[in-house]
Structure 1
């Protein structure tokens, strides 16, 4: 449930929302801790044995959830060869567990409602293109969205940089970030959205970070789940479209 303070921005924009940019893991996809399990497998591959080092690195991963995974490994190890090895081990471990992922409640219905109302949908992720495609294939989402982007497709700069959102806006929203609604469960999602100039930058509480962290990062609203997005976008449209009935 959004607070009164969070609601106050509703209706301020005169630019119609035409594109929803949504994160995957934690926002539309439930992976039940698979990111951290895959990271633990990567630490095993890199022979990180110290309990203190593993705890410190895992905390960093939690704090930077949503960022490009190769960027995270570079920050942790400071060595390109080790970063590439760790990232490859992470992607392999996550891909091997993709069958355990599932759509979060309301995600598919949200896609359907938004597209029925004429909006475009882009999914953005910190995963590689190969892992993103495997995830989309497992979930059967290729036909439900208009675009998906990974950091490698925008020059390698993932979140908190706005590159993926801006690339999606260029292709699907007339190159106007004010016509974009961004939704994500992490601080990096929110920072990416605010940096892009998107009108709606909503946090969602089904993933890594909590309400205070999302608001501090600049979220315009915080939603309990992605299923609340159609109603939020309707608040910003004038005249409003009926996104929640029919």
Structure 2
């Protein structure tokens, strides 16, 4: 599902660094975000089935990809409540991860390996806290991939849609000479905004997660792919040009 007209606009700068989102892009979590949110909200007195719960859940759905603490700051206003909600969310998500519902997006591991074999550096990023990101990596058995992994706390606390995670990956990985040699891939408009604001040369949306084609393109996607497995071919085509 590559967009050939968008691909044609890419300059041949040679992508050297690939920044990949996790949940929805490389990881299928079976809707655990919503389930963990409901658990966390209930612990703070937001009862399932109420209008308040429905409004808050709708906002969580609309902001998939954003740093979770930022979401809770918006929902609860008070910093103490936001921190409590975030802690409860992370605990609930961690418990659900241990329930065996986590899986890779089909072909994601092989895609990461193919990207690395082509000489590119791969960094995995998330809007979750470090403990949750580590739980995902353990559940997938991806620790042996030896990848650099980043969460908002690693980038000064600001996650998507800010460019910080992409910029942090660029600085830490040391794989690219310029930001135009960076590719960002994710399943939400927030991933796209983060990549665009960082100045990444390729900002690819994937249709395996939260947002659809129109939302991804509206947020600045240079390409929209059916799945992350199409990314190596997209980048290889750019190399040939």
TM-score w.r.t. length of structure 2: 0.95
Name the counterpart of 1:8.
8
Secondary structure, in 3 states, of the residue corresponding to 2:114? Answer: helix
Find the partner of 2:182 among 174, 180, 183.
Answer: 180
**Which residues of 2 match residues 106-125 of structure 1 at below 5 A?**
106-125=107-126
Task: Provide the rounded CA distance (Å) in 1 between the counterparts of 2:109 and 2:225.
Answer: 17
Residue 133 of structure 1: CA displacement?
Answer: 0.8
Contact kept in structure 1, 2:17 and 2:176, CA below 8 Å: no
Name the counterpart of 1:224.
226
Contact kept in structure 2, 1:170 and 1:176, CA below 8 Å: no
Residue 76 of structure 1: CA displacement?
Answer: 0.7
Contact kept in structure 2, 1:122 and 1:145, CA below 8 Å: no
- Deviation track 1:173-227 (CA, whole Å, cap 9, x = no partner) reads 2452211110000010000000010011000000000100000010000000010
Cα RMSD after superposing both structures: 1.3
Find the partner of 2:202 among 182, 200, 203.
Answer: 200
Instruction: Count matched residues.
Output: 237
Contact kept in structure 2, 1:121 and 1:145, CA below 8 Å: no
Instruction: Provide runs of 4+ in structure 1 moved above 6 Å.
Output: none
Residue 115 of structure 1: CA displacement?
Answer: 0.8
Identify the range of structure 1 (73-82 vs 230-239) with the bigger mean alpha-carbon deviation.
230-239
Name the counterpart of 1:91.
90
Contact kept in structure 1, 2:130 and 2:151, CA below 8 Å: yes
Secondary structure, in 3 states, of the residue corresponding to 1:230? Answer: helix
- Unpaired runs of 5+ residues, structure 2, are none
Q: Is it true that 1:142 corresponds to 2:143 in the alignment? A: yes
- Unpaired runs of 5+ residues, structure 1, are 240-246
- Deviation track 1:20-39 (CA, whole Å, cap 9, x = no partner) reads 10000000000110000000
Secondary structure, in 3 states, of the residue corresponding to 2:124? Answer: strand
Contact kept in structure 2, 1:120 and 1:145, CA below 8 Å: no
Task: Provide the rounded CA distance (Å) in 1 between the counterparts of 2:118 and 2:78.
Answer: 47
Name the counterpart of 2:131.
130
